[in-house]
């Protein structure tokens, strides 16, 4: 197993939060990132248990750390010869695990399909961006 690229973990987590600020800001309706959860369009918003921006960065760092571990397991020699594995691994996690989990959860809670698509799209964008950070810093 290779070493974990800690700089890529930190940059990836912070980039994910920056993407979230744009994604849930000007792109998709101005929803607050990780700070408020509505659940009901007419009801009052409630504080998120995540803990605001610091909580968002910590949770994103956990995701980035898992990607870093996967890339370390693959090894830098293999990744140098097959750089597409950065996006295949990171995008694969988003498409095969995160996206379906979002859709199942939102269907169970009878949330709108648009919400599931926006959130699944966010995670796909974040994971692809994370793969790009690890590739650039390899």
Give the pLDDT confidence score for residue 56 in this predicted structure.
79
Which pTM was predicted? 0.82
Domain assignments of the chain as residue spans, ordered by start: 6-136
Q: What is the pLDDT of residue 50?
A: 52
- Cβ neighbours for 42, distance < 8 A, ≥ 6 positions apart: none
Q: In order along the chain (138 residues), what is the average pLDDT of each group of 10 residues? A: 91 92 82 47 52 77 94 95 97 95 93 91 95 96
**pLDDT value for 30:** 58
Rounded to the nearest 5°, which phi and psi values hold at 37? -125, 130
Please report the pLDDT score of residue 74 as a whole number. Answer: 95
pLDDT of 34: 45
pLDDT, position 35: 44
Residue 51 is predicted with a pLDDT of 60
Two tokens at 99? Answer: 């996206």
Q: What is residue 54's predicted lDDT score, i.e. its pLDDT?
A: 78
């Amino acid at each position: 197993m290779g070493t974990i690229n800690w700089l890529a973990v930190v940059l990836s987590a912070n980039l994910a939060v920056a993407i979230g600020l744009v994604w849930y800001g000007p792109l998709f309706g101005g929803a607050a990132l990780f700070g408020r959860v509505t659940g009901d369009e007419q009801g009052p918003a409630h504080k998120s248990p995540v803990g605001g921006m610091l909580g968002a960065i910590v949770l994103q760092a956990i995701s980035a750390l898992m990607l870093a571990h996967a890339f370390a397991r693959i090894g830098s020699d293999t990744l140098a010869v097959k750089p597409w594995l950065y996006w295949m691994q990171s995008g694969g996690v988003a498409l095969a695990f995160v996206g379906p989990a979002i859709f199942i959860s939102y269907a169970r809670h009878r949330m709108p399909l648009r919400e599931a698509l926006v959130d699944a799209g966010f995670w796909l964008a974040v994971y692809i961006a994370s793969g790009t950070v690890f590739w650039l810093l390899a």
